[in-house]
Amino acid sequence: MSKSVLVNLVADLGFATRCKLAEMGYGARMMARLLALTGPVFARFGLIRDQIFFLGNYSLAIITVSGLFVGFVLGLQSYYALQRYGSSEALGLLVALALVRELGPVITALLFAGRAGTALTAEIGLMKAGEQLSAMEMMAVDPVRRILAPRFWGGVIAMPLLAAVFSAVGIVGGWVVGVLMIGVDAGAFWSQMQSGVDVWRDVGNGIVKSFVFGVTVTFIALFQGFEAQPTPEGVARATTRTVVLASLAVLGLDFVLTALMFSV
């Protein structure tokens, strides 16, 4: 390898690293700005309410159906695993812990990224491509305060609610398979669940996870849309990046949060 090729390789690597660091710094500044706008945005709660409806209500169908089938599969697989050890009465406890601790927040966040996250990125990207954001700046209207902040808090609030719906429907699905189809005692199913699930340690940790995932997914979607190239191809690439980055961030944060929560 010649000296000039090596120099160009190092220069390209340094340029790419500098661009990524600049992008991370800009993202941190935008997050700080969104958090600083919390008070003014909540003063006009109607804007947040509309976004909760848009992001939460329109994602409710896929969340409910997915939660039901996940509960079906979880109940069936858990029963055959517990039956080997004569502990089939603990089916309700296993289903509830798996859903409220892990599957509920994680799968909901992944579905939320695919449904609501892409919608947010496409919406903001198309507004940028249509120069609507630039027009708002020309009229002395801050697009971050008027457009991004309500959508950010709408997604943050909607995510824990959707995760709770997913877990509740999943438990019902596990009950249908375990009690109605297989024949597990209904009293044992519910009593084991009630005695074994701790409100703060299990349900509380699931709520914390869903809140963190909501912040992460919503911010990634908004940032990718706001920084998208103002072309149809740029908006399409930004939408794809939203799904990829949000999914990887959710899975990585899930490991970190689980390690922190259950090691204390």
Q: What is the DSSP string of 209-221?
A: HHHHHHHHHHHHH
Q: What angle do CA 250, 96, 196 make, to 5 degrees?
A: 120
**What is the C-alpha separation between 185 and 86, in angstroms, rounded?**
13
User: pLDDT at position 2, please?
Assistant: 65
Determine how many CB atoms are found less than 10 A away from the CB of residue 231: 12
**Amino acid at the residue 244:** V
Name the nearest CA neighbour of 54 among 125, 155, 148, 139: 155
Q: CB of 202 within 8 A of CB of 100?
A: yes
Give the C-alpha separation, 95 to 167, whole Å.
9
Supply the pLDDT for residue 264.
Answer: 61
| Residue at 30: amino acid letter | M
Per-residue pLDDT of the chain (264 residues; tens, 9 = 90+): 566 777 777 777 887 788 778 778 877 888 888 888 888 888 888 889 999 998 888 888 899 999 999 999 998 988 888 888 877 788 888 899 999 988 999 999 999 999 899 999 999 988 888 888 888 888 888 888 888 999 999 999 999 999 999 999 999 999 999 888 888 888 888 888 888 888 888 888 899 999 999 999 999 999 998 888 888 888 889 999 999 999 999 999 999 998 888 776
**CA 180, CA 184: separation in Å to the nearest integer?**
8
Q: What does R_g of the chain's alpha carbons equal in angstroms?
A: 22
Cα distance between residue 39 and residue 41, in whole Å? 5
pTM for the model: 0.89
Do 70 and 105 touch, CB atoms closer than 8 A?
no
Give the span between the Cα atoms of 36 and 27, in whole angstroms.
14
- pLDDT at position 54 is 87
| The predicted structure's pLDDT at residue 1 | 55
Cα–Cα distance between 206 and 219 in angstroms, integer? 20
